[in-house]
Amino acid sequence: MEQTFDFGGEIVWRPGPEYIEKAHLTEFMRRHGIASFQELMTRSTSDVPWFTEAVLDYLDIQFYQPYSQVVDLSRGIQLPAWCVNGRMNIVHNCIDKWQATKKASRTAISWEGEEGPVRSLSYAELSMQVNQAANALKALGIKKGDAVGLFMPMTPEIVIALLAVAKLGGVILPLFSGYGAGAVASRLADAEAVALFTCDGAFRRGKPVEMKSIADEAAAQLPHLKHLIVLQRTGQDIPMQPSRDHWWHELVARQSTTCETEQTSAEDPLMIIYTSGTTGRPKGALHTHCGFPVKAAQDMAFGTDVHAGDVMYWMTDMGWMMGPWLVFGTLLLGATMFLYDGAPDFPAPDRLWKLAADHRVTHLGVSPTLIRSLIPHGDEMHQKHDLSCIRFFASTGEPWNPEPWKWLFEKVGQGKRPIINYSGGTEISGGIVMGNPLLPLKPCAFSGPCPGMAAEVVDENGQPVRNAVGELVLTAPWIGMTRGFWKDEQRYLDTYWNRWPGTWVHGDFAAIDSDGLWYILGRSDDTIKIAGKRLGPAEVESILVRHPAVVESAAIGVPHEVKGSELVVLVVLKAGFAPADALVSELKTMIIAEMGKPLAPKEILFVADLPKTRNAKVMRRMIRAAYLGQEPGDTSSLVNPEAVDAIRKRA
């Protein structure tokens, strides 16, 4: 028996003319004589070649040699080839083509460091510095097809490095800046990287955190890694190995500011982004010049409605797909990316709002976890800053609970600015489902699938369901889909395509309500099944965070010989609240009142923190493993691996 999900939400935002008339979606639909968003969805998913070509044209993706066929499905929808025989380089579309236009003088990157410095680069300045970095790579003997890692904080130089690698036709390997040496080494080894961009360190909460020693330890394990290019960020004293290590300011700054962009095949490798897993070696999602960037810009245009001159700040790290997404999306649209290198609540909890106000951010991407952490500091934190510049909020990485969503929408956004929920993944190159400026919103909801995404929610038999929780699936290809896992095609096919014929099973737990709005409720392998009832963690967690003592929570299922599973909940308390038997009783009562006695938790465990990735995903599988005393798997993607040990000790 499937459990019906009680959405219970009312529409709280409807777009006015100021959103509808300006929207990219409106312009795109008018160009093609499409009267409604539903008509667009039907046409974009039933005629993939038409939609793909229409998007390439809308985004003005330019080719040195035109493609002969927009998509070739001769190997099946699992393994399509896109823009067949086309020759291009995405850097031409991000930078080169703007140089003879007015956009050359507009700001491409705006940056602030935690300790206070501010910098900006115009499209013209970015072009020259990318050319210098590309020439530096050439001087080291790095060429088309070589893989180069990025292990740096969010400074303008990491964007310059990323684009320089692509300009040469190299393969970009973005790495999470908080990785340890083992995680860095394993990913560089998998791709046989020949060079690594890194830095002396980064600032976190007012203190310099050294990074070069991690890069050194990783490099010592990699005979194929010949060069480290080191940015001087903090001024820390670090060892430099002669012939292998090169200071950025010495190597790059002396290079010519002109460099020809390599002509690549549309399907040549552009980037490998490694996704975190709980078991086995990391999966390297392979992306191409005509894949990931196109999908990123499409979603940024049609979902968050970013235009030339807008300023987007998405709190991210380059090792999470939202980092490259931010870079490629803003540059293809002629907009400005804002980067911040530091903690979002340092030196005070209003730092995020101050950044948004000072840099006139128009599009602010956050995580639900961050918003939950800011609420206890009070409304005065955002009220002291002029946030009238913000037109859109956006979020991804973790399902919302209603109360934090409402706080951001009502208190910070004054009930006027939509929160564009966005969910998909590294292998998607962006979103499966997303809000947009044409459709109404409910708390925590998505307006629907992104155009071109043939998404559905199905039951255990693969049949579509409404008002019930099911598996999120896709039944048609899209240009941003990963071209497989690096050197492991079978693992890619087994991961996504082996459950139902011709169907991508994404691994997310989703639902569609009677008004047609969509909800993502967490990973489907986090699903808890108690006595035949299927329970999404977000349902329980949303109940608990309404309690004034609770900052956040995580629900997991543990084995039970009769019921199959039973519920265990971990809770993080706000400052000023302490664990107590009375509080346990209150929280249990709240769950029983909404979910019923059969779903009463076996245990409520108070912890100081929940294990999270840098993009704020709570890793429930690791929580469950730690609680049960099992091996949690690869914890390298966590910002706080100590939280796993703490749970193991408490359980």
Q: Which residues contact 197 (CB under 8 A, 6 or more apart)?
A: 148, 149, 150, 151, 152, 157, 158, 161, 228, 229, 231
In this prediction, residue 436 carries a pLDDT of 97
| CATH 3.40.50.12780-classified regions of the chain | 17-96+268-522
Give the mean pLDDT of 234-258. Answer: 97
Q: How many CB atoms lie within 10 A of CB 487?
A: 12
- Which parts of 512-580 fold into alpha helices (H)? 537-544
- pLDDT tens profile 156-210: 999 999 999 999 999 999 998 988 888 899 899 999 999 999 999 999 999 999 9
pLDDT band at 1 (very low <50, low <70, confident <90, very high): very low
Q: Which residues contact 561 (CB under 8 A, 6 or more apart)?
A: none
Q: Does domain 525-650 have CATH number 3.30.300.30?
A: yes
Nearest residue to 333 (alpha-carbon basis) of 294, 363, 364: 294
| CATH 3.30.300.30-classified regions of the chain | 525-650
pLDDT at 278 over 50: no
Task: Pick the range with the lowest mean pLDDT from 131-135, 296-300, 546-550.
Answer: 546-550
DSSP string, 236-257: ------TTTEEEHHHHTTTS-S
pLDDT at 575 over 70: yes
Give the mean pLDDT of 95-120. Answer: 97
Q: How far apart are CA 1 and CA 538, in angstroms?
A: 19
Pick the CATH number of 17-96+268-522 from 2.30.110.10, 3.40.50.970, 3.40.50.12780, 2.40.340.10: 3.40.50.12780
Give the mean pLDDT of 19-24. Answer: 97
Q: What is the DSSP letter of 452?
A: T
* CB-based contact 273:324 (threshold 8 Å): yes
Peptide bond into 15 cis (omega under 30): no
| CATH 3.40.50.980-classified regions of the chain | 99-259
Give the mean pLDDT of 419-424. Answer: 96
Angle formed by the axes of helices 24-31 and 292-302, nearest 10°: 100
In this prediction, residue 614 carries a pLDDT of 66
CATH of domain 99-259: 3.40.50.980
- Which parts of 2-122 fold into alpha helices (H)? 17-20, 24-31, 37-46, 48-58, 90-94
In this prediction, residue 534 carries a pLDDT of 59
| pTM of the shown model | 0.86
Q: How many CB atoms lie within 10 A of CB 240?
A: 13
- pLDDT tens profile 61-88: 999 999 999 999 999 999 999 999 999 9
